[in-house]
Amino acid sequence: MVCPYDSEANERLGFTWPEAPDTWVSDNSQLLVFIEGNTVVSSVKVLLTEVDLCAPVWGLQPASTALDFTRDASGTRTVTSGTISK
């Protein structure tokens, strides 16, 4: 997960992502990043108004990680359970 104003994304990935977006441009979305080895193979922009995966910021997770969500009054989903590794 790459979050707005995220200065530690490369540290969590374990390698430098040269094509990483500038996380200081906007604070309305987060980027779900898929890696294979030391390469980003895909990424998906997710609006923070839909789901907040940046509170807390998640470390690397297996693709099979199951997550449970709740929805607040504004409609934003937040993770309520799952494995968070940093």
pLDDT at site 81: 66
pLDDT tier for residue 63 given thresholds of 50, 70 and 90: confident
Domain encompassing residue 57: 9-81
Tell whether the model's pLDDT for residue 84 goes beyond 50: no
Residues 43 and 68: their CA atoms lie apart, in Å, by: 21
- Whether 74 maps to a domain, the answer reads yes
Asked if residue 3 is part of any domain, the answer here is no
| pTM for the model | 0.72
76 falls within a domain: yes
In a domain, 2, yes or no: no
